[in-house]
Structure 1
Amino acid sequence: MVSRLVLVLGDQLTPNVAALKAADKEKDTVVMAEVMAEASYVRHHPKKIAYLFAAMRKFAHALREDGWNVLYTELDDTKNTGSIVGELIRRSDELGAREVLSTEPGEWRLIKALQDAPLKISLLEDDRFIATHAEFEAWAEGRKQLRMEYFYRDMRRKTGLLMAGDKPAGDKWNFDHENRKPAPEDVSFSGPLRFEPDAITQEVLDLVEARFGSNFGSVTPFWFATTREEALQALEHFIAQALPKFGAYQDAMLNDNRFLYHAIISPYLNAGLLTPLEICQAAEKAYENGDAPINAVEGFIRQIIGWREYVRGIYFLEGPDYPQRNTLNHKRKLPDLYWGGATKMNCLAKSVEQTREEAYAHHIQRLMVTGNFGLIAGVHPTELHEWYLEVYADAYEWVEAPNTVGMSQFADGGIIASKPYVSSGAYINRMSDYCKHCHYKVAQKTGEKACPFNLLYWHFLDRHRDRFEGNPRMGNMYRTWDRMDKDRRETVLQEAELALEKLDKGDL
């Protein structure tokens, strides 16, 4: 009789993940499964499905090579029950095992499914993260504002990363003011390391194309790493060739360059092929060796042990209803342009095109282009949340929901962000060359060619005045609005309404 089943999910592809550490290789059996319930609870980008299925199959092979007994269910297996719980029950019945070890999933939806299963399932906390649930809760208790910066400092102290004794390296915790340069004219980085699909990956690509080919996004060309060894090569490539300039240009966007100096390792980190500490230690080593400046290394490390850990803490602290929050009561349906529908706004067209083809866009494209526009247009945050979850290869609810519902859409009422991340077209123009290629004129505030971001920015502020007028970080915006001539304000609001009508008709 088998002692226990050991569940390994598609984002738990780490050899020392909690459930495997607690298991007995000589007695227990690992269960892994490609199931429709996980592949279709939202219409995931085909590249994400293909990446995870290929990585799962190769991880299962590596476990077998390491001496584990692994029962792996492929999607087209005729006995596939279609859900994680169904596969656990099926394998339990086959083997007579009634106990399951599982690392805690990263989504409330799946946690509940396992808790409700008619099996004895032990959920072990995922210790691949720096902060435990208890540590984040203790940090948050009694605080009026849960701002990331102070949590991040605690994570620096805990890990010792970029620390000189009790002080931060370089005598500052944050070098963000050095990391806001506009887009450079030339980019020396060739982009993320690309891997040719092998036989296993190609088999998965054929399967995904056949089963999920109608989903938003193209499965080919496919170049993601699908093993830990490849992911480590991708990390090394970034550290050596892009990290030195990552910091300065991390917020920049270019019309004809999709990656600039970004790492594109978040899919590997979030699925478990890489771990946060090893990534940060590699960056820290580059700084210590004089191969990368502190502003780049600190900014990179902050995204991982600061922001990534923080949003996970918020997700579990706030509970299962968090993704459905809608403090601003926005109700507009997600515009068709998010699915590749026609638009004359170049920044949005390019960001969505890149998303469709790469299953990737960097944080400023997500926050200040697609997110900013959704916020000022009044799109329902749940629809945007589900869109982000569907279209990006690195998206899992624990990390995606706080970034969208909290940071991007202010739908949590300010738990994460102290003010809404809204801007006119001026910000996009400053940080990119998108506006040079656009039908609209970013310098034009009203009229037929006025940038919709300019019109909708003021429309947003006007309709939410009661909520935000007293926000100390937004007072200058309202004073600027109030100084405008009354007729001009009325023109702006009227033209903003016309822009929203065009948006709903797919003609903006």
Structure 2
Amino acid sequence: MVLSTLALILGDQLDRQSPIFEGFDPKRDVVWMAEVAGESTHVWSHKVRTVFFLTAMRHFRDELKAEGIRVDYRELPVKSEGRTRVGGEETLAAALRDAIDRLKPLRLVVVHPGEWRVREELRLIADEAGLELVELDDTHFYTTPDDFARHANGRKQLRLEFFYRELRKRLDILMEDGAPVGGEWNYDKENRGAFGKKGPGKVPAARRFKPDTTTQAVIDLVNERFAEHPGTLDDFDWPVSVADARLALKDFIRHRLPSFGEYQDAMWTAEPWLYHSRLSAAMNVKLLDPREVVDAAVAAYESGAAPLEAVEGFVRQILGWREYVRGIYWTQMPKYLERNALRANEPLPNFYWTGETDYACLRDAIGQTLQYGYAHHIQRLMVTGLFAMMLGVDPQQVHEWYLAVYIDAVEWVELPNTLGMSQHADGGLMASKPYCATGKYLQRMSNYCAGCRYDPAKATGDDACPFTTLYWDFLARHRDRLAGNNRMAMQLKNLERKPADELSAIRQQAAKLREQLAAANDQ
């Protein structure tokens, strides 16, 4: 029988409600999925990230087969099995070319990919094979890239708040008689709580999911095949199926959402999860529909189970940031990837890959990242990202690290958050100002400084906090660029108050710090 359609399902498209199944004929069409080493090596992916994608794919494959859908699935062999039928190249492109040669479909269908590189590869392969490639809108999202392009057209500035309010109104989410519920569009001021000296106390533990046979097989595969990659798999407990992802959602809504808002920016040593949802990875591979997640949060508010500030803050992350960064990505690529507005060119310190540093905040945030493949948004923005930006690290290297180490990293969401929000490398397209702060911010929002030999109040001297040193150095280096930014006016006024000799000493200390880190990289 002639194969009509080869339906390409990528590793971040595990959506049974995908438009790829509309009109799908099990007698004439085949789903194609492939595990390839290249997707774990084009950036040096964390073991947890690789296991999550591969095991979620295998569970999805098995669910499709149980429904009677034909799936042409390529499992990644262990190293000892030697070369594969695709010649050992093990790239997505090579695997697809092999499938086309074997199955000889009349056309290819794919849902809009989540990465520019992959989209271009698929278009090239289809063109080479002389096949039509039908690209479908990804209905997993509330909006399309074209929707965002229309929103952005003619605007001098792109800002999340405008886009978020537009979506709230259009979709009637947390709205009442045309106005936001509670009278405010966002509750940022209420959502900046810290734990105080006694810490968070007993936080409800997130539901864990013991690896089943399928997941354990992938863990064994990754431990053998990608042994030199960062991270460990001893604590792998992520939901990797639709059923488990929904259980994780219910667990978050019931036990942690009520306190999520107040403490979403707080940090504490050896507390990786706190009140965060752990749902971003499941949403980013589409095991969970964002509508289901938002609806569950809104229902919690309407029933009185969670306060408005917590629910609004959580909804804004999904309906706001998630849709916004995707729009930024697809309207700005591929040139967005090359942006470096601050002309940063320092190498990424080696300790980002090892966690071996005497900076307590970085040691904790990177340590938990290497252990779990996870850090929450403030740890990413105001610890690892903040240090890299103020140090002046090449944003491409920062981007590749974030894409490699986090379980939820897909380029459409990771790149704008890293290059734009975290590193300000896009010059303010994504965010209206660079997020820079001294060590005093970390002292206020965490207990990191209590266990650190560096003093967050000091910018010079042997016990000066590197964050504080680099903060003043950053402002001094970029004073002219930032001078016209109203949101930076107070910080620049404080810079001007610094005596010339003090500022000179700070600049010298910052230069010495860069030299030390560069020398450590060379060892």
TM-score by length of 1: 0.97
What's the counterpart of residue 110 of structure 1? 118
Q: Where do 4+ consecutive residues of structure 1 move more than 6 Å?
A: none
CA distance in 1, matches of 2:513, 2:279: 37
Within 5 Å, give how 1:95-174 maps onto structure 2.
Answer: 95-117=103-125, 118=129, 119-174=131-186
Q: Which runs of 5+ in 1 are unaligned?
A: none
Per-residue deviation, 1:88: 2.9
Counterpart-to-counterpart distance in 2, 1:312 and 1:272: 15
Q: Residue 189 of structure 1: CA displacement?
A: 2.7
> CA contact under 8 A between 1:253 and 1:433: conserved in structure 2?
yes
Q: Residue 48 of structure 1 contacts residue 359 of structure 1 at CA under 8 Å; is this kept in 2?
A: yes
Deviates further, 35-44 or 235-244: 35-44
1-structure distance, mates of 2:510, 2:95:
52
Indicate if the aligned counterparts of 1:32 and 1:72 stay in contact, CA closer than 8 A.
yes
In structure 2, the residue matched to 1:293 is 307
Alignment of 1:214-253 (within 5 A): 214-253=228-267
Local SS of the residue matching 2:283: helix
SS of equivalent to 2:60: helix
Q: For residue 22 of structure 1, report the CA deviation from its aligned partner.
A: 4.5
Question: What code does the residue aligned with 2:105 have?
Answer: A
Distance verdict in 2 for CA 1:170–1:120, change over 3 Å: same
Q: Distance in 1 between matches of 2:513 and 2:69?
A: 59
Note if contact 2:46-2:373 (Cα within 8 Å) is conserved in structure 1.
yes
Aligned residue number for residue 335 of structure 1: 349
1:79 partner letter: R
Contact 1:337–1:506 (CA<8 Å) still a contact in 2?
no
Instruction: Give the Cα separation in 1 of the matches to 2:250 and 2:86.
Output: 38
1:79 equivalent to 2:85? Answer: yes
Partner of 1:365: 379
Q: Which residue of 1 aligns with 2:13?
A: 12
Among the aligned pairs, what percent are the same residue? 44
Number of residue-to-residue matches in the alignment: 507
In the TM superposition, 1:49-60 aligns within 5 A as 49-60=50-61
Structure 1: how far apart are the matches of 2:467 and 2:402? 20
Query: How big is the shift at 1:80?
Result: 4.7
Distance 1:341 1:172, change over 3 A: closer
More displaced stretch, 25-34 vs 7-16: 25-34
Paired residue type of 1:178: E
Which shifted more, 494-503 or 50-59? 494-503
Cα distance, 1:18 vs structure 2: 2.3
Q: 1:243 & 1:481 partners in 2: Cα distance?
A: 39
CA shift for structure 1 position 139 = 0.5
TM-superposition CA deviations, 1:439-464 (whole Å, max 9, x none): 10112232110111111101011111
Counterpart amino acid of residue 360 in structure 1: Y
Query: Higher mean Cα deviation, 382-391 or 463-472?
Result: 463-472
What runs of 5+ residues in structure 2 fail to find an aligned partner?
Answer: none
Question: Which of 176, 200, 207 lines up with 2:188 in the alignment?
Answer: 176
Cα deviation, residue 341, structure 1: 5.2
Residue 323 (str. 1) matches residue 337 (str. 2): yes
Q: Structure 1, residues 25-53: CA drift from partner, whole Å, max 9, x if none?
A: 33211111101222221111111111111
SS of 1:474's partner is: helix
Q: How far apart are residue 471 of structure 1 and its match?
A: 1.4
Larger deviation, residues 94-103 vs 283-292: 94-103
Cα distance change, pair 62–469 in 1 and its aligned pair in 2 (3 A): same
CA contact (8 A) 1:192 1:237 kept: yes
1:206 lines up with 2:214 in the alignment: no
Compute the displacement of 1:121 (Å). 1.6
Report the Cα offset of residue 204 of structure 1: 0.6
Matched residue type, 1:86: A
Structure 2 length-normalised TM: 0.94
Flag the 1:89–1:486 CA change in 2: closer, same or farther, 3 A. Answer: closer
Output the aligned Cα RMSD: 1.4
Letter in 1 for 2:195: A
